[in-house]
Structure 1
């Protein structure tokens, strides 16, 4: 099952008042696991960011001045998301900006039925508690120590881990290297054992020779154990 996790950074809070997207980041999940595939682009909004917004994402007008316009990346963006489920935190905000940009390109809106809003999931699960992305990362012990500024791709990766926790999965880190799906544990978190072993070849069992005398001694010794588990297994 393919899903994508999406985040944006913007010049301000109100797309209806002319605010634009300055960065978009999307990562791909397959069966809730990061595949390593992603879409990312900085975007020239052709306007200056609100000082409060710029403080959040750190993207200056000078830095963005030579970046592509949204219409130049729109087709590649839509091709990447395809018709997959889209995971967004506070979906009306990001979706409002994206659909506003698509409208400017004479393109169709993204279907809201494809969207899963993790903010709503978190609000239902943690009634009355803070459910910002930062708060949820702290709740699930996801490391955000290096998140001094927001970044669309970085936040999409964090959101993928939060999403996994919200739907009841175990927090994992999987690195896919050289297309060999090499799996390693990060921050002492649990392996995804099922995925790990499903990708391993079946190794035929080795034939083991048992010493008859040792076997007899073993059988006699377990008879002396009260309520032996061996007796339970035999029955």
Structure 2
């Protein structure tokens, strides 16, 4: 509360000095205020000691296996949490719920085979992409150009296999990704009529645009993974 108060006070002083025609002082106060506000977000995570991630389960990326969670995305996130001195908490939720929870600051990051599309989102930002993939649809024209992320469907991934078996998947799914297509196919289910959309796509995590410090910390961690060759090793362990 004290930090919030100091930050707001600095911003108010900045406005006052600007009105008093003291732009240099105003800029200094605004900078202090912005720094204090940023500190709030850092302390919010540090205070809980936890990095909260929401995700839809996707085999190979992030999924439960017995009493533990595994997958490429889980290993990346677990490493990031450890590097930040935090405990990783993963909550599995329906796919469309992931974006809502992150946008409303109920979770720090969203995962589970999320593909950023070239559409600006005013609330959500994305991390650096960690794995190339493809987007698939039964009706390519049904993929709305205004949608910022793929895949897109109601419910959990675990509900897709039964729907594919009873022939209702095409009426349920707007778009799928390569990891989900492969996972469904391993159950011996036919995906007739599914078409791969044109373009180059890749998976990334999502987080609030306001979490600038968290974005910077993750980007720095991810760059170390990439340049050290650890990311390539992780991909080799989980993607076949």
Larger strand proportion of the pair: 2
TM-score (norm: length of structure 1): 0.27
* Greater Cα radius of gyration, structure 1 or 2: 1
Larger RCO (alpha carbons 8 Å, 6+ apart): 2
TM-score (norm: length of structure 2): 0.27
Larger helix proportion of the pair: 2
